[in-house]
Amino acid sequence: MTPEVIVTLTLIAATFVYVLLCWILPFARCRACHGTGIRRTILLRRVTICRRCKGARMRLRIGRRVYNAFHNANTEAARAARAKGGAR
């Protein structure tokens, strides 16, 4: 096996694992609050709700967000085509 083949197979395997992860576990821990849902402000160190996850503690993975965007666009296109076809 040449190094190029090994790198290619590794990238394909990593992509497959990430897609599987986005399918099985679409939500991951929030990076800003580390899954606690609260943050401390820089001034006065007050406890506030995390602004990024709004206290939900979880975030949608980027891969799942991309999948949802494609899925929604496809659904909208199909709905528009159906509406256009039904108007005739």
Residue written as tokens 């399918």? 23
28 binds Zn ion (CB under 5 A): no
Piece of 2-10, 19-27, 29-37, 71-79 that binds Zn ion (CB under 5 A): 29-37
22 binds Zn ion (CB under 5 A): no
57, 37 in Cβ contact below 8 A?
Answer: yes
Identify which of residues 22 and 50 has a Cβ nearer to Zn ion in the complex.
Answer: 50
Query: Coil, strand, or helix at residue 60?
Result: strand
Nearest CA-CA partner of 39 in 29, 28, 27, 48: 48
Residue written as tokens 């891969």? 63
Piece of 2-10, 16-24, 31-39, 65-73 that binds Zn ion (CB under 5 A): 31-39
60 binds Zn ion (CB under 5 A): no
